[in-house]
Structure 1
Amino acid sequence: MASPSLSTQLREGTRDAHVATEAAFALESRLSGRGAYGGLLADLRGFYGPIEAALTSVRGWAQLTPPLDVPSRCRSALLDEDLRSLGIAAPLDRVAAPLPALPSLAHGLGCLYVIEGSALGGRIVARRARAALGSALPVAFFSSAGRDEMGADWGALRAALDAFG
Structure 2
Amino acid sequence: MPHISLRLIAPFIVLATAAPAAAKDKEAPPRPTQIQELYNCRDIADSAARLACFDREVGELQAADTKRDITFADRETVKKTRRGLFGFTLPSLGLFGGDGDEDQIKSIDTTVASSSQVDGGRYRITMADGSVWIQIDDRRMALAPRPGQKIQIKTASLGSYFLSLEGRPSIRVRRER
**TM-score under structure 1 length normalisation:** 0.20
Q: Whose relative contact order is higher, 1 or 2, with alpha carbons under 8 Å and at least 6 apart? A: 1
The structure with the greater share of residues assigned to strand is 2
Name the structure with the higher helix share.
1
TM-score (norm: length of structure 2): 0.19
